[in-house]
Chain A
Amino acid sequence: SYELTQPPSVSVSPGQTARITCSGDALPKKYAYWYQQKSGQAPVLVMYEDTKRPSGIPERFSGSSSGTMATLTISGAQVEDEADYYCYSADSSGNQRVFGGGTKLTVL
Chain B
Amino acid sequence: QVQLVESGGGVVQPGRSLRLSCAASGFSFSTFGMHWVRQAPGKGLEWVAVISFDGNNMYYADSVRGRFTISRDNSRNTLFLQMISLRADDTAVYYCAKLGERDTLDMWGQGTMVTVSS
Contacts and interface: CB of A to CB of B under 8 A. Distances in A.
Chain B interface size range = 20 to 34
Interface string B20-50: 0000000000000001010000001111001
Given A95-B59, A97-B35, A97-B50, A42 B45 contact: no
Contacts of B111: 42
Contact of B109 (A42, A54, A86, A97): A42
Contact of B45 (A37, A44, A45): A37
A102 B44 contact: yes
B45 A43 contact: yes
Chain A interface size range = 20 to 34
A44 B100 CA distance: 13
Given A95-B59, A96-B59, A97-B50, A102 B106 contact: no
Interface in A18-49: 31, 33, 35, 37, 42-45, 48-49
Interface of B: 35, 37, 44-47, 50, 59-62, 95, 102-106, 108-111
